Structure 1
Amino acid sequence: MTAVLAGCGVTGGDGDVRLTLVAADYDLAGGDSTEKYWAGLTAAYEASHPGVDIDVRIESWNDVDRVVAELVDAGKAPDLAQIGAYADHAAAGRLYSADELLSVPVQANFLAPLISAGEMRRVQYGMPFAASTRLLFYNKKLFARAGVAKAPTTWDELADDARKLKRAKVPYPFALPLGPEEAQAETMMWLLSGGDGYTDDTGRYVIDSDANVDTFRWLKTELVDKGLTGPVAPGKLNRKAAFAAFSRGEVGMLNGHPSLMKEAAKQGVDVGMVPLPGRDERPRAAMGVADWIMAFKQNGHRREAGDFLNYVFSDANVLKFAGDNDLLPSTVSASHAMEDDPEHKALAPFLKALPDSRLYPVGKTSWARVSDTVKRNIGRAVEPAGSPDAVLATIGRAARTAEDAE
């Protein structure tokens, strides 16, 4: 969907400055909730800032990063973009830094892991617009049918529960979506669960570390080879299909995010949620995800863009967007407010996991290429004739090559 918001003073008027914003569409049902959010926000802002008009263009997540890149290449960069990645634009010197835009209280209010993920060379360019974390989801009804009394806390318990679910004729005892849609997310969750991740403490890629290879050996031998991941090969199973199967009551366990909780409840699935178990205990961090907003220098509207962003990150606006879309606030104060709101009680486990979460290495310009390499190849690591050692070594070499070219 592409829409330009009009009316309510959004595109008209004789303002001294016209700001342009390209934003992603979060309405999973194909409606206009994202459009309405920005229309209400910009109308309220313009009412108290008569010298500024704001044009908002909504693009689908399939297109929004490409659309912004094309505008930049054509010399028509928007003033603001709310998209999935900022690193390439920051590396090219196109963006204002956060401290050039935001007041000190607003910049300091972002959650710590989101600040770190928004930095390139210790300078923050990506401002976290919304966030989420991932938890292990399980179907309580299927657990009861299989005689599983409680959620797993270790990998051995998870595998044992999956075996019981299989004996109870559950189609997907543990759904493992390593298909190309979002394999980089499922992979990161398991790498963290195994004690490592995509990068080390210095920010260098370590995808083929001993711990990561051991993680995929375990997935292959203890889950996939034993027929515990369902009728679709993990490398062919996409997240969307796995979530749909969970909502139909066909999946015992999988890794999910807040929107799945709501959709499954609509279908009558009684959902339990816990942190993904570690090899022997809870892993040191859950996976966090953030979407970013950034400001381009081209049009020279630093002051106006910064003032608008300070308004965007007010608690009321952050909470409304997060609440409307089953996402988590990106700021400390809004997170505390959501924790205290009974209406959002179901999000409490996700909120608890976010402050200590680890995010994709989005501050690296190589990450887009590395992520694509993971998406295209990681499923082969758990194929019947696959070799986790060989596949992760190939991905690791490609990652280091991309990193050296940054």
Structure 2
Amino acid sequence: MSRIAPFGWIVLVLACFLSGCGRQDSDSVRLTGWIASPVEETLTRRFIDTFEQGHPDLPVRYEPITANYMDKLLLMLATGTAPEVVMIEAFWIPLLVDYDVLLPLDRFLAQDPGFFPDDFEPVLLDAFRFGGALYGLPKDYSTLALYFNPAMFAAAGLGEAPRSWREFAEHARRLTRTGDGSIDQYGYCHAEDLEYLLPFVWQNRGEYIDAQGRAVFDQPAFAEALEFLQRMKRGGIAVMPSDVGAAWNMDAFGRRRVAMAISGLWSANFMNETYAHTPYRAAPLPVGKQAASVAFAVGYAIPKRTADPDKAWQLLRYLTGPEGGRIWAESDVGLPARRSVAREAAIERDPLKRVFMQSLAHARIWRFRVNQRVLDETQSALQAVFLTGAEVRPTLKDLKRRLERGGRLYTDARRRE
């Protein structure tokens, strides 16, 4: 995640006030979000068109943010210039509640019995709840699953995707190919980010932060999961994206430098648009002591300083309602958050989407209450393990010491939950 230096914030705030940016047109409702792909951009504009057809007296001004989304959104929220409806990932809810910049939505649900919040997958609705209040509504989600190249599997005499850690390592070994004295195809590409490690940790019955808010990543279960992946890399059957000149793990997969990679449903669009000639399938993550995956929930919220919340609710209601969900369901951007929409779209009959949807049963939401310093320090430790070969257990113990010396690990919002 990109960050803005404190001085940059001052300059941007002054520029915003002096220019009068973000002034609201009382005859319209403003909407912002990030642009993950051309497909998502097209779908959002379809949302707006269909909403305006049903609400001719409430035109929508779409103001997408093309880069540094959270930096810019936080600035607008802090200065009261944010659009009336903002796209938000559940991961950011604790931070935004801490800043007291989001409007609780409970009263809208209480006054709108036809909205049927019980139709949402419960874990997704709870992802936007904090301190007993609901601060956003989910539009879609994805879990993590294992992408694999069926042609490479067939060439290695493999039929099905690995179902256990042992099979995972064995598949990676058989899929690694050497030509002219060097490896030209690896079994697996691992992204060194925390969210891609956590499924292995949770499958090993480990934790990153426990229920009491304590850092427990120096415990054996966490270390064992990290050591398992490091052994695969040391054994020459797994790589990081940079090892093969790739920008990220699915880039390495698309270039056919690796046979397996872990990612979300969003990567299907990437593969179809960028590497259309690379075949792929998806399977549930290989299982350790128990099944586990990570779920990423995206939705919409209303800023607390919005002048006309009722007007904003009309748009948010549509974006996260059944009609809006049907539009999202037509693409591979994400899975519908509403169960009725998933049934109507026959997601269970789609061999790709079914994998990601069924993984929700044992997934946990990507959301922590730690501050950014903790995440940045953790990322640096994981890079040391994967990129420089640092020993796992001393690295984790040193990480915990550094974090505890640095002061408070959590956002103030934690005290109110």
TM-score past 0.5 threshold: yes
Conserved 8 A contact 2:51-2:318? yes
| Aligned-partner residue type, residue 243 of structure 1 | M
Report SS of the residue matched to 2:364.
coil
Residue 362 (structure 2) pairs with residue 353 (structure 1): no
1:99 alignment counterpart: 106
Q: Secondary structure at the match of 1:52?
A: coil
Indicate the residue corresponding to 2:188 in structure 1. 174
Establish whether residue 254 from structure 1 lines up as the match of residue 258 from structure 2.
no
Q: Which residue of 1 aligns with 2:83?
A: 78
CA distance in 1, matches of 2:135, 2:248: 34
Q: Return the alpha-carbon distance in structure 2 between the equivalents of residues 64 and 384 of structure 1.
A: 31
1:113 corresponds, among 118, 123, 135, to 123
Tell me, yes or no, if structure 1 residue 89 matches structure 2 residue 96.
yes
Paired position in structure 2 for 1:371: 375
Cα 1:26–1:403, aligned 2, differ >3 Å: closer, same or farther? same
For residue 48 of structure 1, the aligned residue among 46, 51, 54 is: 54
Alignment of 1:7-406 (within 5 A): 17-27=27-37, 31=38, 33-60=39-66, 62-84=67-89, 85-102=92-109, 103-104=112-113, 105-167=115-177, 171-178=185-192, 183-202=193-212, 204-221=214-231, 223-230=232-239, 233=240, 240-264=247-271, 267-280=276-289, 283-339=290-346, 344-362=350-368, 364=369, 366-383=370-387, 385-397=389-401, 401-404=407-410, 406=412
CA distance, structure 1, for counterparts of residue 80 and residue 201 of structure 2: 40
Q: Assess if the C-alpha contact under 8 Å between 2:95 and 2:411 holds in 1.
A: no
CA separation of 1:341 and 1:146: change in aligned 2, threshold 3 A: closer
CA contact (8 A) 1:20 1:80 kept: yes
Q: Which runs of 5+ in 2 are unaligned?
A: 1-24, 413-417
Q: Which residue in the other structure is 1:8 paired with? A: none
Counterpart-to-counterpart distance in 1, 2:151 and 2:141: 30
Shift of 1:124: 1.9
Aligned-pair distance for 1:350? 0.9
Distance, in Å, in 1 between the alignment partners of 2:396 and 2:246 is: 21
Whether contact under 8 Å (2:241, 2:249) holds in the other structure is no
AA matched with 1:119:
R
| Matched letter for residue 326 of structure 1 | V
Give, in whole Å, the separation in 2 of the partners of 1:75 and 1:336.
39
Are the aligned partners of 1:177 and 1:239 in contact in 2 as well (CA < 8 Å)? Answer: no
- Aligned pair in 2 of structure 1 residues 96, 236: CA closer, same or farther (>3 Å)? farther
Q: Is the 8 A contact 2:144 2:356 kept in 1?
A: yes
CA distance in 2, matches of 1:42, 1:264: 27
Matched residue pairs, number?
A: 376
Measure how far apart 1:394 and its partner are. 3.9
Work out whether residues 177 and 185 of structure 2, in 8 Å CA contact, stay in contact via their aligned partners in 1: no
1:135 deviates by 0.8
The whole-number CA distance in structure 1 between the counterparts of 2:34 and 2:387 is 35
Distance 1:144 1:168 in 2: 17
Superposed CA offset, 1:133-174 (max 9, x none): 111122122122223343222211211222222256552211
Q: 1:68 to 1:352 in 2, by over 3 A?
A: same
1:23 and 1:58 in contact (8 A); partners too:
yes
Change in Cα spacing, 1:383 to 1:311, as seen in structure 2 (3 Å) is closer
Question: Are the structure 2 counterparts of residues 338 and 198 from structure 1 closer, same or farther at C-alpha, using a change threshold of 3 Å?
Answer: farther
State, as a whole percentage, how many aligned pairs show the same letter: 19
Structure 1 counterpart of 2:15: none
Equivalent residues of 2:244, 2:257 under 8 A apart: no
Matched-pair contact (CA < 8 Å) for 2:137–2:320: no
Q: Match of 2:11? A: none
| Contact 1:131–1:328, Cα closer than 8 Å, also in 2 | yes
Q: Which amino acid aligns with 1:191?
A: V
Once the 2 structures are TM-superposed, how far is the Cα of residue 404 of structure 1 from its aligned partner?
A: 4.5
Q: For 1:80 and 1:398, how far apart are their aligned partners in 2?
A: 39
TM-score normalised to structure 2 length: 0.80
The answer to whether the Cα contact below 8 Å between 2:145 and 2:284 also exists between their aligned partners in 1 is: yes
Cα displacement string for residues 234-265 of structure 1 (whole angstroms, at most 9, x for unaligned residues)? 67679843212212222121112223335446
2:312 and 2:148 map into 1 onto residues whose CA distance is 43
